[in-house]
C-alpha cells in the first residue's frame, strides 16, 4: 500500500563513533569480538533533496535499460530503468524512486537506478542515507557502492558494498553485504538486521557504513550490527580504492522473486538525504 510522503523532514546528524581509532565491545554486533570504530565527522558530500524537479545533475546520473546485456542487470530483474519523472524525481524535500507496472520497451515494469559514477567517488568514510522503503513481494530496493574501476576490473573484482538491501515482503529485515572475488552473489559476506516492533516501510530509518582500510562497519539508526574485516573474506580484499553510490528499486530477480497478486503498484522508495563524511583528523 502506498503511503503519503508529506512528512516533516528531520535533520539529524548521526555521529555514533566517538574516537579516531578505538577498540570497543559493541553489544549490537551480537558478538564478543573486539570491534574497530573510527570517527568520520567532516561532511564532504550531501544531497538533502530540497529542490523539486530532477535530481542534482552535479551529483547523480542514471543507469538506463535492462542491463548491458539485456539480461536484467545479471539478476534476471524485470524492470526497465528510466530517467523519466514518472520513475525518479525530487518532490517535497524527498527523492522518489518509483517502480510502476507498465509495458515499456519490452519490459512489464519500470523503475530508476541513480548513481554518482564519474561525479562523486570516495575511498573510505561514513556513507549514510535516511530512507523509507516500499512494500510488496518482488520489490528489491538498495543503497550500495560499486568500485569505480568496474569498467576495467569486471564485477566482483571491482568490489561491491551493499549498505542496505531489502526484500519487499519482509518489511522488518534489511541486509548488509560485501561482494568480491571468491565471495560474491550467493556466497557474499552478509548479515541481516531485524527491527523489533517496527517496519521499514512505515517510517524512515538511517542506513550507513563506516569504512576504513581493513574493515567495514554496518549501522541501522546508529546501531552497529556487523563488522566485516579482511580476515572475514575468503578471497582478496578489494575495498581499497574509490567507490561510487547507487540508489535503486529493482523489480523481480533471483533474490526477491517476482511480484505476485498481492503486490500493488506503484511503489516508491523515499530518500530524505544522502551524506558522506571523511575523517577530519590527519596524521
Q: Under a CB-based contact definition with an 8 Å cutoff, are residues 156 and 181 in contact?
A: yes
Q: Given phi > 0 = left and psi -120 to 50 = alpha, else beta, which region is 138?
A: left
Q: Under a CB-based contact definition with an 8 Å cutoff, are residues 251 and 156 in contact?
A: no
Query: Cα-flanking dihedrals φ and ψ of residue 29, to 5°?
Result: -85, -5
Q: How far apart are CA 139 and CA 168, in angstroms?
A: 5
C-alpha angle 108-113-119 in degrees, rounded to nearest 5: 155
Residue of 77, 101, 128, 165 with catalytic role: 165
Looking only at the bridges linking them, the beta strands covering 189-194 and 205-212 are unpaired
Q: Is 160 a catalytic residue?
A: yes
3-class secondary structure, 72: helix
Q: How far apart are CA 172 and CA 252, in angstroms?
A: 19
Please, which residues have CB within 8 angstroms of residue 45's CB and are 6 or more apart in sequence?
Answer: 59, 120, 122, 274, 275, 276
Q: How far apart are CA 144 and CA 159, in angstroms?
A: 11
Residue of 160, 192, 196, 210 with catalytic role: 160
Of the candidates 249, 254, 262, which has an alpha carbon nearest to the alpha carbon of residue 110?
249
Query: Cα-flanking dihedrals φ and ψ of residue 250, to 5°?
Result: -90, 155
Sign of CA dihedral 32, 205, 38, 217: positive
Q: Is 165 a catalytic residue?
A: yes
Residues serving a catalytic function are: 160, 165
Amino acid at each position: 500500500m502506498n503511503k503519503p510522503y508529506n512528512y516533516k523532514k528531520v535533520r539529524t546528524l548521526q555521529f555514533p563513533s566517538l574516537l579516531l581509532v578505538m577498540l570497543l565491545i559493541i553489544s549490537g554486533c551480537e558478538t564478543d569480538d573486539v570491534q574497530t570504530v573510527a570517527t568520520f565527522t567532516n561532511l564532504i558530500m550531501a544531497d538533502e533533496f530540497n529542490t523539486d524537479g530532477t535530481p542534482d545533475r552535479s551529483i547523480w546520473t542514471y543507469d538506463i535499460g535492462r542491463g548491458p546485456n539485456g539480461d536484467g542487470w545479471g539478476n534476471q530483474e524485470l524492470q526497465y530503468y528510466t530517467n523519466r519523472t514518472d520513475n525518479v524525481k525530487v518532490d517535497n524535500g524527498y527523492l522518489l524512486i518509483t517502480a510502476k507496472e507498465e509495458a515499456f520497451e519490452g519490459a512489464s515494469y519500470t523503475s530508476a537506478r541513480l548513481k554518482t559514477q564519474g561525479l562523486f567517488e570516495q575511498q573510505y568514510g561514513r556513507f549514510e542515507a535516511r530512507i523509507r522503503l516500499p512494500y510488496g513481494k518482488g520489490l528489491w530496493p538498495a543503497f550500495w557502492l560499486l568500485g569505480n574501476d568496474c569498467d576495467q576490473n569486471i564485477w566482483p573484482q571491482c568490489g561491491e558494498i551493499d549498505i542496505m538491501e531489502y526484500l519487499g515482503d519482509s518489511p522488518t529485515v534489511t541486509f548488509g553485504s560485501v561482494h568480491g572475488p571468491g565471495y560474491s552473489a550467493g556466497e557474499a559476506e552478509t548479515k541481516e538486521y531485524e527491527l523489533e516492533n517496527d517496519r521499514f516501510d512505515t517510517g524512515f530509518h538511517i542506513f550507513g557504513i563506516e569504512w576504513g582500510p581493513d574493515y567495514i562497519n554496518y549501522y541501522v539508526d546508529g546501531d552497529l550490527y556487523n563488522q566485516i574485516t579482511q580476515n572475514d573474506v575468503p578471497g582478496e580484499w578489494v575495498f581499497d580504492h574509490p567507490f561510487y553510490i547507487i540508489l535503486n528499486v529493482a523489480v523481480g530477480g533471483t533474490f526477491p522473486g517476482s511480484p505476485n497478486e498481492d503486490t500493488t503498484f506503484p511503489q516508491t522508495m523515499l530518500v530524505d538525504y544522502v551524506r558522506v563524511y571523511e575523517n577530519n583528523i590527519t596524521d
